[in-house]
Amino acid sequence: MFAQLVTSFIASSAFTILFNTPKRSLLQCGIAGMISWMIYLLLQGIWGPILASLIATTLVGIMGQIFARLYKLPVIIFSVAGIIPLVPGGIAYDAMRKFVENDHNAAVQLAAQAFLISGSIAMGLILSEVLNQMVRRRA
Amino acid sequence: MNSDPVVHKPDRADIATTTDLCLLAGKIMLQSGAETYRVEDTMSRIAACLGFPKSTSYVTPTGIMFQADEAGAAKLTGIAERTTDLQKVTAVNGISRQLSGGQLTAEQARLKLKEVECAAHAFPIWLQIAAASIASGCFMIMFQGGWNDFVPAMFSGGFGYCAVIYFHQLVRVKFFSELMASFVVGLISLIFVQLGWGHALDKIIIGSVMPLVPGLLITNAVRDLMAGHLVSGLSRGVEAFLTAFAIGTGIAVAITIF
């Protein structure tokens, strides 16, 4: 578990370098990625990957909103960093490889899973934005 | 808009300048991987604070149409390449905020946007490659690989990222450079496993293709679809599909040949 935390932190901040994120936000981006991966790992065993990524993205989206206000940067920076460990790039690649290898059954299954997970991530981000707007209106 | 419209009365710039300014801002944002709704929002904000509250825009991943005012002509700009560059998104966001706060004039904003457009990647290329290779190693661990595969994954991920940069400069076709890069990844991973330095081939490969795979693209596509930008969502989805297809093919070719 500790190794997972460290690697997800490093992987997220390394990815934000590839995405040319402003230098002063590298640390926070790593933290966002680490927290989302931790929540995902904890919940994935209970509720499966789709619900787990929905909850993880929602929470990390809310965190991104807070970070954005604290550090005066657009939310997109933190939300992108937070979903880096969750996005189904690996599954999409696996699906395509199965297609190329003529294993269509496995390929369709994986592709559907990739679509559902990315749908739940998008849902989570939208949910966190809606929650943020509700809180702001209340305040 | 934070400023009070009575206190801060914008001088009504002419339609052509406003249209150009908005299109430039939108173009930079779209090329840098901002979501469609954010691009539309920024353009209409800029137009509104220059005195055109009723602007209309139509944004797709390959082009933007923008009309500042019902009376003026609409203008179109095409977009050939899209990357993820959050620094530019941040910069354009800041400029549009300064503009609506009245700290910048339209001309100053235009000059600043031009600067942003030409700005290079903030991190040197060796650092990007190093970041890609470290990320590959870490993703390999996150996919439950063993630590004894960490170094092979780092190497093949780093070389894969090198390859995608190199081939992209050589031929400006994204599909081809991704195909070649994943072929390189597959080849190097295979060599490592054959030499006995790597152990789980699948884990090494999946870790090292992570800097190339379109995970973010897929998510952005679904986000666009949910926000009602159907054309953008579908075309982004197709882009993601093509990338995944290129990577899958490259790896499969490498494994089948050797």
Contacts of B137 in chain A (CB under 8 A): 7
CB contact under 8 A, A22 and B86: yes
- The chain A residue lying nearest B208, using CA atoms, is A90
- Ranges of chain A whose pLDDT falls below 70: none
Min Cα distance B16 → chain A (Å) is: 29
Does residue B108 surpass a pLDDT of 90?
Answer: no
Q: What is the pLDDT of residues B16-48, one digit of tens each?
A: 888 889 999 999 999 988 888 889 999 999 988
Task: Evaluate if residue B6 carries a pLDDT over 50.
Answer: no
State whether A76 and B34 contact (CB < 8 Å): yes
B77: phi then psi, degrees, rounded to nearest 5: -135, 140
Contact state of B209 with A93 under an 8 Å Cβ cutoff: yes
Q: Could you give the CA distance from residue B144 to residue A40 in angstroms, rounded to a whole number?
A: 14
Mean pLDDT of chain B, nearest integer? 86
- Taking the Cβ of residue B160 and every Cβ of chain A, the question of whether any pair is shorter than 8 Å is answered with no
Contact B89 A121 (CB under 8 A): no
Q: Which residue in this structure is represented by tokens 């390999």? A: B140
- Mutation target to probe the A interface, by most A beta carbons within 10 A, among B35, B97, B117, B138 is B138
* 3-state percent helix, strand, coil for chain A, nearest multiple of 5: 90, 0, 10
| Torsion angles phi and psi, residue B5, rounded to 5 | -65, -25
Domain ranges for chain B: 12-118, 125-257
* B128–A contact, CB cutoff 8 A: yes
- DSSP for residue B119: P
DSSP helix/strand/coil, B36: helix
- Give the B window 187-246 contacts with A, CB below 8 Å: 206, 209-211, 213-216, 218-219, 221-223, 225-227, 240, 244-245
Secondary-structure percent of chain B, ordered helix, strand, coil, rounded to 5: 65, 5, 30
Can you give the length of chain B in residues? 258
Query: Domain segments of chain A: what residues?
Result: 2-138
Chain B positions in Cβ-Cβ contact with residue A126 (cut-off 8 Å): 223, 226-227
Question: Using one digit for the tens of pLDDT, what is the confidence trace for B144-160?
Answer: 888 888 999 999 999 99
SS3 A12: helix
DSSP for residue B101 = T
E strand or H helix that includes residue A116: helix A104-138
From the list B157, B180, B163, B156, the residue with the least C-alpha distance to B247 is B180
Residue matched to tokens 């929540």:
A39
For the residues B69-97, what does the mean pLDDT come to? 87
3-state SS assignment for residue B74: coil
The ipTM (two decimal places) reads: 0.88
Please count the residue pairs, one from chain A and one from chain B, whose beta carbons lie less than 8 angstroms apart. Answer: 154
